[in-house]
Homo-oligomer: A and B are copies of this chain.
C-alpha cells in the first residue's frame, strides 16, 4: 500500500514538473532554450562568515567588504561558497563545483542560454533558488534570493557568480531577463567571482533587484522564469551604445 502511495506521489511530482516545464516553454518559446525548474531552499545561514577567507584568495583588490574574519591556513584553499549553508569545507577552486554538486546537491546545466524557472515565489524570506550553469568552458552559480532588506518588505535579488577568479570573471557578461505581461526587464553586468561574497553583492544591491509587486507581475502561477545568457565581454567597450 505504502509502495503504491509513493508511486502515486512520484507520478504527481512528475506531472507537476512537466506542467511547470510547459509553462516556462510557453513564456520562453525560443527553440533550443533549456528550461530548468529550480525549487527553493530555505536558507540556513545569512552571516557572511566565510568571506574573509574567500577574499584572501581573490586576485583583485576591489572586493566588497565582509564583516567576519577567519584565519586562512593555505591561500590556495577557498572555503565552500554555497550560499545556503555554513559549511566547514575548504578546497582548491577547481574542486568547488564537484563539492557544490555532491555535498549541496546543486544542479548544473549546460548551454549558453537557459531559462531558470524558480518555483514557489510566495515562500517567506529568506529563501534561495540556486543552480550552476556550465557555459563557455566555465561554471557559473546563479543565485536568486528572497530577503527582507527592509523589515516586512521582501525583495528578490538575482546575481551570477563565476566559479573562478575575479580576473577570469572580467572576461564575461551575464544577462538576466524577465519577460511577461507586456513588460520586460533586463540586467546585464560582469559576473562577480565566487571568491567575492554573494551576500555582499546582494546586500550592496549590485544585482537585479525586484520588489514583490514587480516579481508578481513577472511570475506565472507562483513561478518566476528568468532567461539567462552568458557571453564573453565585448559589450562593455560599447558602453555608450544604446
Enumerate chain A interface residues (CB-CB to B < 8 A): 26-30, 33, 113, 149-150, 153, 173, 177, 179-180, 182-190, 204-206, 209, 211-214, 217, 227, 229, 233, 235-236, 239-242
The copy count of this chain in the complex is: 2
Q: Which of A26, A29, A180, A211 has the most CB of B within 10 A?
A: A211
Chain A to chain B: the 3 pairs with minimum beta-carbon distance, closest first: A29-B240, A184-B188, A150-B150
Asked whether, in the complex, the Cβ of A183 is within 8 Å of the Cβ of B189, the reply is: yes
11 of the cross-chain contacts (CB-CB < 8 Å) are A29-B240, A29-B241, A33-B242, A179-B240, A180-B239, A183-B206, A184-B188, A184-B189, A205-B213, A209-B211, A209-B214
Asked whether, in the complex, the Cβ of A242 is within 8 Å of the Cβ of B150, the reply is: no
A196, B160: Cα distance in complex, Å: 37
Partner among B27, B209, B241 whose Cβ is within 8 Å of the Cβ of A30: B241
B-side contacts of A206, CB under 8 Å: 183, 213-214, 217
A242, B153: Cα distance in complex, Å: 30
A236, B242: Cα distance in complex, Å: 20
